[in-house]
Amino acid sequence: MKNIFASFFFVLALATTFAAQAQTIRRVNNSGLTIAGVNIYTTLQAAHDAASANDIIYLEPTDISYGPLNCVRPLTIIGNGYFLDQNPALQLDKRDSRTGAVTFANGSAGSRITGCVIGGVNIAANNITVERNQITGALYVGYNPAIGSVGVSNIFVRQNYLAGGNSIIFYPGSTVATAVSNVIVNGNIITGSVRTDTGQYAGLGNILISNNVIGDLAGGSGNSLEVDNSVIKNNVLTFAGSGSRFTPRNNAYTNNISGNTAFGTANGNQQNIAPSSIFVGGTASTDGAFQLRTGSPAIGTGESGTDVGAFGGTLPYRIAGIPNVPSIYQFNQSVSGNSLNGTISTRSNN
């Protein structure tokens, strides 16, 4: 019953937030319960197929995936967050909103997905925002599995947690039509690499990679930062071994920290810094472990005195990927005679 209340109250809060707008709010719920109302679906693809441009799809908390999505219209998709059992007092219902792989295909320009656990992302349209998600597969920029390289521009990948050694992969082709440009990768915890798999480095343009953590807490070898025509600043690259790569092609790189000598020491960069001296480590939640410890060399050493890493900068990583809509994190009820009294505790999540 509590979980039903949580979903219901969240939808009410969401409806209030967007009441002044023309979008239709569509709910996705695969709990198996019979839920009264309209615009309720059991899979993400079904909600998408019924939606109109600019509708809002709310993925209610569940332990079961809502399946993959091939998105061909502009939508906003909102989940419940992740690691909620490790980060208390953020949501009343601590289950995830899970999907399979999501492809933003032609027609989906302007879409945004937030607060979900996603099995992988393929960005093959312009003006796509992927923020505050746990991504359990790779995130491709400029790639559609059905086509291959696709030219894209104005992409925002921010405040996500890429789990299990997964990477952000740029996928430009060899022509102007398949170039990848105007991409911001900011405030992410990326346990794998940021790389260009096609080898077409000249197909990248105006890429900003800032305030990310790239690699794991152990500083394991093998991760890489392989891009071109990029501004690279305020990142922590935890890898330490010789198998980890950064090739300074046509990049400007400042105020980064590396576990090896990838960046050298010019332009505010720091080298040979162990992750254990930077982060609080395993006493916190899975994502909270990447917060800066007291005395960390990442504190205040970024551009203009900001902190280096995912929790620094103007759009820092948000614990548990709580989407920036109102949420209910506590509900108490009591019976007094014939009256049922309830207290709801809410918060904004900007």
For the residues of 98-157, what is the DSSP string, one character each? EES-EEE-TT-TT-EEES-EES-EEE-SSSEEEES-EESS-EEESEETTTEE--EEEEEE
Of the spans 31-45, 71-85, 243-257, which averages the highest pLDDT? Answer: 71-85
The answer to whether 105 and 84 have CB atoms below 8 angstroms apart is no
Does residue 264 sit within a domain? yes
pLDDT of residue 268: 98
- Tell me which residue of 349, 321, 319 sits closest to 135, measured CA to CA: 321
Give every CB contact of residue 45 below 8 A, 6+ residues apart in sequence.
67, 68, 69, 70
Distance CA 56, CA 59 (A): 10
Does residue 311 sit within a domain? yes
- Give the pLDDT mean for 7-25: 52
Q: What is the mean pLDDT of the chain?
A: 87
* Residue range of the domain that includes 326: 74-347
CB atoms within 10 A of CB 316: 18
pLDDT band at 63 (very low <50, low <70, confident <90, very high): confident
Does residue 171 sit within a domain? yes
pLDDT at 11 over 60: no
Give every CB contact of residue 255 below 8 A, 6+ residues apart in sequence.
233, 234, 267, 268, 269, 301, 302, 303, 308
pLDDT at 150 over 60: yes
pLDDT at 245 over 60: yes
pLDDT at 293 over 90: yes
Among 152-166, 210-224, 237-251, the minimum mean pLDDT is found in 237-251
CA contacts within 13 A on the Cβ side of 104? 30
- Tell me which residue of 36, 16, 62, 5 sits closest to 343, measured CA to CA: 5
Does residue 36 sit within a domain? no
Among 136-150, 187-201, 203-217, 237-251, the minimum mean pLDDT is found in 237-251
pLDDT at 91 over 70: no
Provide, rounded to the nearest whole percent, the portion of the chain with pLDDT above 90. Answer: 71
β-pair type (252-254, 245-246): unpaired
Q: Is the pTM of this model over 0.85?
A: yes
Report how far apart, in Å, the C-alpha atoms of 181 and of each of 46, 160, 232 are.
Answer: 32, 20, 15
Does residue 50 sit within a domain? no
pLDDT of residue 131: 98
pLDDT of residue 350: 64
pLDDT band at 325 (very low <50, low <70, confident <90, very high): low
Give every CB contact of residue 9 below 8 A, 6+ residues apart in sequence.
92, 328, 331, 344
Distance CA 28, CA 5 (A): 15
The greatest distance separating any two alpha carbons of the chain, rounded to the nearest whole angstrom, comes to 74
pLDDT at 23 over 90: no
- Give the pLDDT mean for 83-92: 77
- When comparing pLDDT for 21 and 180, which is higher? 180
pLDDT band at 79 (very low <50, low <70, confident <90, very high): very high
Does residue 258 sit within a domain? yes
Among 101-110, 132-141, 215-224, 298-307, the minimum mean pLDDT is found in 215-224
Does residue 292 sit within a domain? yes
- Give the pLDDT mean for 81-100: 83
- When comparing pLDDT for 14 and 106, which is higher? 106
pLDDT at 133 over 80: yes
Distance CA 314, CA 302 (A): 12
pLDDT band at 334 (very low <50, low <70, confident <90, very high): very low
Q: How many structural domains is the chain composed of? A: 1
Token code pair at residue 146 = 């059905």
Provide, rounded to the nearest whole percent, the portion of the chain with pLDDT above 70. Answer: 83
Does residue 2 sit within a domain? no
pLDDT of residue 329: 37
pLDDT at 15 over 60: no
pLDDT at 335 over 60: no
- When comparing pLDDT for 35 and 24, which is higher? 24
- Give the pLDDT mean for 217-237: 90
